[in-house]
Amino acid sequence: DAKTTQPNSMESNEEEPVHLPCNHSTISGTDYIHWYRQLPSQGPEYVIHGLTSNVNNRMASLAIAEDRKSSTLILHRATLRDAAVYYCILTKNSGGSNYKLTFGKGTLLTVNP
Amino acid sequence: DTGVSQDPRHKITKRGQNVTFRCDPISEHNRLYWYRQTLGQGPEFLTYFQNEAQLEKSRLLSDRFSAERPKGSFSTLEIQRTEQGDSAMYLCASSPRDRVYQGYTFGSGTRLTVV
């Protein structure tokens, strides 16, 4: 399975944009890029996913490099509630058939007031 | 939509005892997953159900672990003869099969402490 590499931790200030990087240099052409986050004492929460094109939703934006070897999760205005561990995960498909999520250690995002 | 419910939230048990956890998925989701998470690590996949059929089991799921999903609704995860190494957060998640992917919905987990 293709691996992802994320920084262990990052810090941001409230109301500023946050760019969370993820490297996946061995990604294959059929791998989807997913992002989940886990707030303290909660289960993980789906954030966004994409294949080749950049994606936007109400929570975040996903910027995917042209060669797909890296991606960046963008939180446009960080709030204290965005403090969490963010996981970048590759899967073989988008969810139409059987798949499972393989989590790494993720990036611990701290948001300063 | 009340989300994925897990019961109990916390369980403390003595080594060697059996424990059972329950997961109630979102009602229209036919896929159900169990994960385990230890401190400082990301969740690890344990097993997966589609309706009542258990379709995949991780090697992490030793013979002491068993999961069921009778009638394709709620699921139970039983650990027999618990060991201290079983102490972890046990997470349940569900997802629909045929809709546009919207991600898994996870419960808040059951934290198991084996003393």
Percent with pLDDT over 90 in chain B: 78
**pLDDT band, residue B99 (cuts 50/70/90):** low
Of A47, A37, A84, A46, nearest in space to B105 by CA: A46
* Dihedral in degrees, nearest 10, Cα atoms A28, A31, A33, A39: -110
**pLDDT band, residue B106 (cuts 50/70/90):** very high
Residue B40: CB atoms within 10 Å:
8
DSSP string, B47-99: EEEETTEEEEE-TTS-TTEEEE-GGGS-EEEEESS--GGG-EEEEEEEE-SSS
List of chain B residues whose C-beta atoms are within 8 Å of the C-beta of residue A107: none
For the residues B17-34, what does the mean pLDDT come to? 95
CB < 8 Å from B in window 94-113 of A: 94-96, 98, 100-106
Integer Cα distance of A106 and A6 in angstroms: 6
pLDDT at site A107: 98
List of chain B residues whose C-beta atoms are within 8 Å of the C-beta of residue A85: 42
**Mind listing the pLDDT tens digit for each residue in A59-107?**
999 999 999 999 999 999 999 999 999 999 998 765 555 578 889 999 9
pLDDT at B46 over 90: yes
**Mind listing the pLDDT tens digit for each residue in B58-94?**
988 889 999 999 988 999 999 999 999 999 999 999 9
pLDDT at A110 over 90: yes
Integer Cα distance of A4 and B42 in angstroms: 13
Integer Cα distance of B49 and B53 in angstroms: 5
Position A51: which residue type? L
Best B92, B106, B108, B110 member to test A by mutation, with max A CBs in 10 Å, is B106
Residue in the structure block whose two tokens are 């790494």: A104
Structure tokens at A91: 């899967």
Residue B88: C-alpha distances to residues A24, A105, B105 (Å): 28, 15, 20
**pLDDT band, residue B115 (cuts 50/70/90):** very high
**Mind listing the pLDDT tens digit for each residue in A10-63?**
999 999 999 999 999 999 888 889 999 999 989 999 999 999 999 999 999 999
pLDDT at site B72: 86
Best A100, A105, A107, A108 member to test B by mutation, with max B CBs in 10 Å, is A100
